[in-house]
Amino acid sequence: MPASTLSPRLRLVRKIALIGGGGIAAIAVVAVAVIYGVSSWQISARHAVVGPALRVTPAASMAAEGGRLAHVNACYGCHGDDLTGHLFVDRFYIGRLSAPNLTRIMPNYGDQQIADVIREGVRADGTGVVFMPSHALVRLADADVAAMIAHFRTLEPRSDAAQDPSFGPLLRALVVAGALTIEPAVVDRSQLGPSQRPVALGPYLARTTCAMCHGNDLHDETRTESPNLFKVVPAYSLAEFKTLLSTGIAIGGRKLGLMTEMSQGGLKYLRDDEVAELHAYLSAPEAAAHP
């Protein structure tokens, strides 16, 4: 129908629709601008390192054990089989989720700066990391961190296997909404690990390695769909638990998604005594109340 034949009411409705459509578009533009602005501010914010200096000096004799611990604590699982980087997702609306090349980065970091990024989630330039589980790794003992650093020092710089991460609209919106946190904001520095590994390895391993996926209290983590370990582990005999951690195969021959990936990637490097102590701790009813 030509515009000249529209009734005054229909003309008014069309005019309101056009104005409304333009208003919605303007609001959308403003919303996107706000999300990009706020998320950029959060991502680029500088953070102070609060924890004390590393109390154990890395030494070459620690390198072999450090390599094992780097596997157990998922360094290789996230940063790739040779630590040259790993790409998880690259979509415009999400962003590029990738773990950077540690062989290229580490030579530019001092020992304390490496410790800070591992346990406090703070890079050498003061910006905070995202996705790296510093909220759990903050509990690592200085001796374990020093051993990992000694291992990293043995690596020759190699070409990147993946581009550095970037934030798309969805990731930025999650940052602004608080659903995706910058690690320094969630690291509890009062839980900084001891100088040496404790005698009781069960609680220590649970609160560091297991907490990366199952939450700081080990009672589940919805974002990774990881269950309450105090409810799951008691159903496993020690032999079954060893099989799970070394092969990723659960009771009944089941595969468990992320748990299977973690077992086949890093948890298989746990020693038998570590697995036994971890099983005993997670199977104890009293531990669930005070993780």
Question: Each residue of 34-47: pLDDT tens digit?
Answer: 777 887 888 889 99
Average pLDDT, the chain: 87
For the chain, percent of residues with pLDDT exceeding 70: 87
Highest mean pLDDT among 10-19, 130-139, 222-231: 130-139
Domain boundaries, the chain: 50-197, 198-291
- Of the candidate CATH numbers 3.40.50.12160, 3.20.20.10, 3.30.70.20, 1.10.760.10, the domain formed by 198-291 belongs to 1.10.760.10
Contacts of 15 by beta carbon, 8 Å cutoff, 6+ apart? none
Q: What is the pLDDT of residue 18?
A: 47
- Measured at the alpha carbon of residue 272, what is the angle toward residues 267 and 275, in degrees to the nearest 5? 55
For residue 233, give the nearest of 247, 216, 245 by alpha carbon. 245
Q: Is 213 exposed, middle or buried (0-12, 13-18, 19+ CB in 10 A)?
A: buried
- Please give the model's pTM, rounded to 2 decimal places: 0.85
* Whole-number Cα distances in Å, 215 to 159, 206, 222, 263, 274: 34, 10, 9, 17, 20
- pLDDT tens, residue by residue, 237-261: 999 999 999 999 999 999 988 899 9
At 7, the pLDDT band (50, 70, 90 cuts) reads: low
